[in-house]
Amino acid sequence: MKLTRFEKAKIIGSRSLQISMGAPVLIKLAG
């Protein structure tokens, strides 16, 4: 699965939001 830069930024942004809200850091982004 190939992600564009925009899609990666969106995924990273949503993960950062979850982390800042106290979600456990379990998902590591590949690539």
Q: What pLDDT is attached to residue 5?
A: 93
Q: What pLDDT is attached to residue 26?
A: 60
Angle at 13 between CA 10 and CA 15, to 5 degrees: 110
Whole-structure pTM value: 0.47
Give the phi and the psi of residue 9 in degrees, each rounded to 5: -60, -40
Per-residue pLDDT tens digits for 1-31: 688 999 989 988 888 888 777 766 665 655 4
